Amino acid sequence: MQNFSYSKAESVEQAAAMGGRFIGGGTTLVDLMKQGVEAPTQLVDVTGLPLATVETLPNGELKVGALVRNSDLAHHETVKAQYAVLSQALLSGASPQLRNMATTGGNLLQRTRCPYFRDTSYTNCNKRNPGAGCAALGGHNRMMAILGTSEDCIATHPSDMAVAMTALEATIHVEGPKGKREIAIADFYRLPGTTPNVENALEPGELITHVTLPAPRKESKQVYLKLRDRASYEFALASAAVVAETSGGHIRYVRVALGGVGTRPWRAHEAEAALMGKPAKTEHFRAAAEAALKNAKPQSENGFKVELARRCIVRAMTMATA
């Protein structure tokens, strides 16, 4: 049995100083503790901290506290109206019960559903045991990533919310023993490379306090499209978050991020470059989709994800420019 201590933090400073694992909604951490994948010796409950509000800042940005529940964020009026891609992404994820518990900060840190990561009878998982190898290579890999993989890890990043936040170019604000800092979401998630155990830019003891979203792009249309086998309660096989603005039938602004295919929430810069200034037409969407998946490296069972992700981009762009 894995014993651990539990304490409830009363301030952000105190939490950062305590040096344990932070627990918010617990939807990932408790699950993985039951599996034996996570074995923290000290849990610091941060749910009592004043980080559960959503507010518009004077500069027009939206500040989302790390403890805002996924359900509350999805149904927040400003989010629904100005950041629709985020609301749609949140509502496409998990189940209502999980969304009622899961927090913004926790969702950013949720860990992969790779079955070999989640089963400790496989010692060969570089995320859990750095240098021990990757059981997913040569295993059941239908759900695995096709972008950003390495010889050491092919696990998919599971979040829908983080994909939308990537398209929205969110900034993640953290506070730790060395003080406060902010990290652009593009710099937050690490590619697995040779160190799949290092998943993000957080330093020991750092707590996500909030996320800021840039001032709304009022002319934009936003779409989150998630493709999967069943209609609900399944991680994406491929998803696309699109924020687009057109004028005169031409694309003037576009951000595209992909889920279900990357080892991290995947910003599709190549697709954006292929779309900028082009007429909002299927042929250009298709070319952008080809560009986005140019470097895809499928495994034995997930080659279909390449074409599925392309079609996901084309459909999301079609919807966002209609």
Q: What is the number of other CB atoms lying within 10 angstroms of the CB of residue 249?
A: 10
280 binds another protein (CB under 8 A): yes
Of 176, 191, 190, 315, the residue nearest 241 (C-alpha): 315
Give the integer Cα–Cα distance in Å for 297 and 163.
20
- Joined together, the tokens standing for residue 10 give 């009363």
Of 217, 240, 218, 249, the residue nearest 321 (C-alpha): 249
Q: Which of residues 287-316 bind another protein (CB under 8 A)?
A: 304, 307-308, 311-312, 314-315
**Pairing outcome for strands 42-45 and 5-8:** parallel
21 binds another protein (CB under 8 A): no
Residue 175 DSSP SS3: strand
Q: Which of 16, 161, 225, 291 binds another protein (CB under 8 A)?
A: 225
Q: Mask: binding to another protein, 27-66, rule CB under 8 A, as x and -? A: ---------x------------------------------
Q: Tell the smallest beta-carbon distance from residue 175 to another protein (Å).
A: 33
Q: Which of 40, 139, 193, 214 binds another protein (CB under 8 A)?
A: 139
| Contact window for another protein (CB under 8 A) among 79-87, 147-155, 179-187, 232-240 | 232-240
Q: Which of 162, 207, 237, 257 binds another protein (CB under 8 A)?
A: 237
Q: Which of residues 140-179 bind another protein (CB under 8 A)?
A: 140, 143
Q: Residues with Cβ < 8 Å from 11, sequence gap 6 or more?
A: 49
Of 91, 245, 247, 237, the residue nearest 164 (C-alpha): 91
277 binds another protein (CB under 8 A): no
In the numeric block, the tokens 């997930």 are attached to 302
77 binds another protein (CB under 8 A): no
Overall residue count recorded for the chain in this entry: 322
Residues that bind another protein (CB under 8 A): 1, 36, 113, 115, 119, 121, 138-140, 143, 225, 227, 229-234, 237, 280-282, 304, 307-308, 311-312, 314-315, 318
